[in-house]
Chains A and B, each alone.
Chain A
Amino acid sequence: MNRKILQRFLRHRLAVASVLFLVLVLLLAFPLAPLVTSGDPNRIDFKAIGKPPSIDHPLGTDMTGRDLWSRLVYGGRVSMSVGVVAVTIYVTLGVFLGSVAGYYGGRVDGLIMRFTEVVMSFPTLLILITIVSIVGPGLFNSMIAIGLIGWTGIARLVRGQILSLREMDFVTAARAVGTPQRRVLVQHVLPNVIAPIIVAATFGIAGAILTEAGLSFLGLGIKPPTPSWGNMINEAQQLNIIETKAWLWLGPGLMITLSVLAINFIGDGLRDALDPRMTLD
């Protein structure tokens, strides 16, 4: 069973290449970061302010004189963490609300689904801006805010799956032998929903990284001097920087794009591997 899934995943070459790429990015961003950089992404080199790539600074320096290679590496740490933590929060919320709604049905279901509708009717970025600018920008707040908004898709997915699983024979059988409700839900129903959740969560991480980047770009996400890929570009908004100092925005922009691309490919590969029927084409 599991070997089959792995085999199918390995056949998706882009997904495999993406895994390798992301492993490299994560290794650089987490354990290797102090080894491959000077160790401090905020150290200022007064002799090199806004300088193009050189031997001392392989990716150049920003307008404050900080080494862009270090900031890119440590920024990866921040962007990746935000993505993973925010999605963990909203998958937990979504699975909980979705399974309660789907399994218990009736008034509980109606109430939860109405609430889901309310949250879904917000333009995500608008409400995120409201929350973050009020509780204050920052790493922790960005994670929480994205986590609090993103759960609706997962909740609807889980609810839909459970509604159809609930009527299946094995669930009726489990109930017939007197298994308590909660145990039927956790041990018999939920394991069957895991595959689509994993796929949705993978795409979700990509989305959360993009959202964080957008917030930070607007100056409402990760607060400088802590580097994140989004706020590094925020510092490169003026036209003269766009025109004459491309190294300031090209690196972080490419890293966001490539990471999101890689995560989406992995999501695609996982979808093919976990459930061949779910493919788009």
Chain B
Amino acid sequence: MNRYILRRLLQALPVLLGITIVTFTFIELAPGDAVMAMILADMQTGGRVTEIDVEAMRKQMGLDQPAPVRYFRWLGELLQGNMGERIRSKLPVATEIGRRLPATLELMALALVIAIVVGIPLGIVSAVKQYSWLDYLLTAGTFIGVAIPSFFAAIIAIYIFSLKLGWFPTSGYSTPGQNFGFWGYLFNHAQYLIMPATVLGLESIAGISRYMRASILEVLRLEYVTTARAKGLSRRLILARHVLSNAMLPIITIIGLRLPSLLGGALIIETMFNWPGMSILYIDGVNTRDYPLIMGMTLVSAITIVISNLITDIAYSFADPRIRYE
């Protein structure tokens, strides 16, 4: 197992390297750079910049070097554990990301938990009561869950649950400037967290319950289930003891596959709910053409995805004794 994990991690390295090259190339191919972005921003606020300033600023930011030189310099620093500094503010990229990443991961984690806890039972009910009105209702629900854009779901949620019913705050991370004590803070924070996490998890609830339903129906057709039924076991017992554990296996992969889109979805949800995660930082980085920041954030996201894929595969091999990685 350890060798397998090591091999997978080694295989991930060229993928991650590829990602940094592709991202860097995109940033380079585009017209303009961080200095131009800065000048544009200044001009909008009425500032003036001369030709000499531009060259000096480029030099000061290290942008006067050719692209490959800058890329390898960045890569060299990265290999020593340094993600560089933001171009304008000179703040370390790692610190900036470290400050924002936990909130995003928190949101994603809860969304995933909600998706699993809600999606799997819904899928089971749907499969067991196949072709009943409940099944049709849930199937319609999953189709809508996939079709509704997350920001529209967010607006509806804010409209109903915040503005009309007043159950949850409209946006933010916690109520500032108050001393609740630990449990009080936790309760307060949970009120802010529940709505964005649920909206973010909506599409995954739909996806997971849909696959759970299909997976159970597939297992129900297998011969060992017929055997169990022939032995005279009750439907409930067959379902609980024989079907569920096997039907659950492919769901592990489905959950793993959802992570990239969950991360993308988090960007929109964070904007909508003013959540202090990576979204605002990323959009700021892109607008100011802050390439160390963009590179760092893309890399961190990609690593998150690669690692979660690995965890998915390992979890799968633990759950299914038929699968063994050497």
Indicate if A30 sits at the interface (CB-CB under 8 A): no
User: CB distance B155 to A249 under 8 Å?
Assistant: yes
- The total of Cβ contacts below 8 Å across the A-B interface reads 134
Q: Which of A2-10, A94-102, A212-220 binds B?
A: A212-220
B-side contacts of A130, CB under 8 Å = 23, 26-27, 286, 294, 298
B-side contacts of A164, CB under 8 Å = none
B-side contacts of A177, CB under 8 Å = none
Indicate if B265 sits at the interface (CB-CB under 8 A): yes
User: CB distance B282 to A121 under 8 Å?
Assistant: no
B-side contacts of A214, CB under 8 Å = 149-151, 264, 268
Binary flags per residue of B181-213, CB closer than 8 Å to A gives 1, else 0: 000000000000000000000000000001001
B-side contacts of A237, CB under 8 Å = 272
Min CB gap A80→B, angstroms: 15
Binary flags per residue of A215-244, CB closer than 8 Å to B gives 1, else 0: 001100000000000100100110100110
How many residues belonging to B are interface residues under a CB distance threshold of 8 Å?
51
Indicate if B306 sits at the interface (CB-CB under 8 A): yes
Given known A-B contacts A124-B261, A214-B151, A264 and B146 have beta carbons under 8 A apart: yes
Given known A-B contacts A214-B268, A239-B170, A264 and B155 have beta carbons under 8 A apart: no
In the complex the two chains form, what is the Cα distance from A122 to B21 in whole Å?
A: 12
User: CB distance B18 to A127 under 8 Å?
Assistant: no
User: CB distance B268 to A281 under 8 Å?
Assistant: no
Given known A-B contacts A124-B264, A281-B213, A253 and B30 have beta carbons under 8 A apart: no
Min CB gap A68→B, angstroms: 16
Binary flags per residue of B113-157, CB closer than 8 Å to A gives 1, else 0: 000000000000000001000000000000110111111100110
- Which label, helix, strand, loop or mixed, suits the secondary structure of the B interface? helix
User: CB distance A257 to B260 under 8 Å?
Assistant: no
In the complex the two chains form, what is the Cα distance from A12 to B306 in whole Å?
A: 39
User: CB distance A125 to B147 under 8 Å?
Assistant: no
A-side contacts of B159, CB under 8 Å = 242-243, 246
User: CB distance A260 to B147 under 8 Å?
Assistant: yes
In the complex the two chains form, what is the Cα distance from A172 to B156 in whole Å?
A: 57
User: CB distance A264 to B268 under 8 Å?
Assistant: no
A-side contacts of B306, CB under 8 Å = 121
B-side contacts of A127, CB under 8 Å = 23, 26, 298
Q: 8 Å CB contacts to A: which residues of B26-42? A: 26-27, 30
B-side contacts of A134, CB under 8 Å = 26-27, 30, 286, 289
Indicate if B214 sits at the interface (CB-CB under 8 A): yes
**Contacting A257 at CB < 8 Å: which of B152, B272, B297?**
B152
Min CB gap A249→B, angstroms: 5
**Contacting A133 at CB < 8 Å: which of B23, B152, B286, B305?**
B286
User: CB distance A256 to B152 under 8 Å?
Assistant: yes
A-B residue pairs in contact (CB < 8 Å), sample of 22: A114-B18, A121-B16, A122-B301, A124-B264, A125-B268, A126-B264, A127-B298, A133-B286, A134-B26, A214-B150, A214-B264, A217-B268, A218-B268, A242-B155, A246-B159, A253-B149, A257-B144, A257-B147, A257-B148, A260-B148, A281-B130, A281-B214
* B interface residues (Cβ-Cβ under 8 A, vs A): 14-16, 18-19, 22-23, 26-27, 30, 130, 143-144, 146-152, 155-156, 158-159, 163, 170, 210, 213-214, 217, 260-261, 263-265, 267-268, 271-272, 282-283, 286-287, 289, 294, 297-298, 301-302, 305-306
Shortest beta-carbon contacts, A-B, top 8: A125-B264, A253-B152, A118-B18, A134-B30, A260-B147, A261-B147, A123-B263, A133-B286
